[in-house]
């Protein structure tokens, strides 16, 4: 039987689609290769959070800072060498991003049960989910199958790809759009600031110079963050003053009463286009949880290395 040229094109497209979909991330990627990976990761994260609840927020932030620079590829974990410059010393990460040693400990446990199978990039993605869940937030199935980058991008990490705490609303919307994330995704993901702490150097300008801040709240924060640069730069304050170690929607309730710690927090509720989303999340924790999960999955799916790209690092800090 003769086939028309169109039927060959259709078949080619079907095979192309099959090949593409099979190479995408999947919840079941490790079902046969490393079935105990999720339990192994969770047990280490649970133990770490029991010792220091802040580490959960740090692991969640590590995932953001990895994903925003060329996708979720584990590039943030690479140490500098004499011939290689990684992302750890870029301004948003230097003396600020934490959790590297815990990722090392998790990788070591995972390597013991499944050597050379699970990527560092996937471990970072799983720990972010586990941290949220352990601190009272929602569950979601993490899609896995990422591979680890053999490069890093210090320049991108250092030049505004990761939005700074001084960002205005326009800047926040555009930096998230560059990652394929909508304004709604951005507001939902900003809710990660319901846990964790920030350094004085990140919120000093907001508590001394901005007008869109509750006066009493500003004065309380000024007690632990001197006005003069260089004094108390590393002094910490809770991003959510109500329930700083519990994942909930209080972050948005704080914004409604002008008690966002960072400039980039409070601009989400400041007479702009995102006010209505903040209002919704402040009144409906289920809507926040649902949109946060959707945005986390979307961010985690952004430009992953799959198939034969990259590698599976044996040590998350260096190439094989």
The candidate with the shortest Cα–Cα distance to 156, out of 84, 75, 78, is: 75
Tokens representing 23 are 């190479």
H/E segment holding residue 199: strand 197-199
Instruction: Compute the distance between CA of residue 74 and CA of residue 71 in angstroms, rounded to an integer.
Output: 9
Instruction: Compute the distance between CA of residue 216 and CA of residue 228 in angstroms, rounded to an integer.
Output: 20
Instruction: Give the residue numbers annotated as catalytic, written as ranges.
Output: 65
The candidate with the shortest Cα–Cα distance to 272, out of 189, 180, 192, 171, is: 171
Q: Where are the alpha helices (DSSP H) in the chain?
A: 5-22, 37-51, 54-67, 100-113, 120-134, 154-158, 169-177, 183-190, 200-209, 215-222, 250-256, 263-266, 275-283, 285-300
CA-derived radius of gyration, the chain = 21
């Amino acid at each position: 039987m003769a086939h028309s040229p169109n039927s060959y094109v259709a078949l080619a497209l079907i095979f192309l689609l099959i090949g593409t979909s099979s190479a995408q991330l999947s919840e079941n990627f490790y079902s046969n290769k490393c079935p105990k990976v999720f339990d192994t990761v969770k047990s280490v994260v649970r133990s770490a959070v029991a010792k220091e609840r802040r580490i959960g927020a740090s692991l969640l932030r590590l995932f953001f800072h990895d994903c925003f620079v060329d996708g979720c590829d584990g590039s943030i974990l690479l140490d500098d060498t004499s011939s290689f410059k990684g992302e750890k010393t870029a301004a948003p990460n230097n003396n600020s991003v934490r959790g590297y040693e815990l990722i090392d400990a998790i990788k070591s446990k995972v390597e013991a049960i499944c050597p050379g199978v699970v990527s560092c990039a996937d471990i970072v993605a799983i720990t972010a989910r586990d941290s949220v869940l352990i601190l009272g937030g929602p569950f979601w199935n993490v899609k896995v199958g990422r591979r680890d980058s053999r490069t890093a991008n210090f320049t991108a990490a250092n030049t505004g790809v990761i939005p700074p705490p001084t960002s205005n609303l326009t800047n926040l919307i555009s930096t998230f759009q560059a990652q394929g994330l909508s304004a709604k995704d951005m507001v939902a993901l900003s809710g990660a600031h319901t846990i964790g702490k920030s350094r004085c150097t990140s919120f000093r300008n907001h508590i001394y110079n901005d007008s869109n801040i509750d006066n009493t709240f500003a004065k309380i924060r000024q007690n632990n963050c001197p006005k003069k640069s260089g004094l108390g730069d590393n002094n910490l304050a809770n991003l959510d003053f109500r329930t700083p170690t519990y994942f909930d929607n209080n972050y948005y309730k704080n914004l409604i009463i002008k008690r966002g710690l960072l400039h980039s927090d409070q601009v989400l509720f400041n007479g702009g286009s995102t006010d209505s989303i903040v209002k919704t999340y402040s009144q409906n924790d289920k809507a926040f949880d649902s949109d946060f999960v959707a945005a986390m999955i979307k961010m985690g799916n952004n430009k992953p290395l799959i198939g034969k790209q990259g590698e599976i690092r044996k040590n998350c800090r260096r190439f094989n």
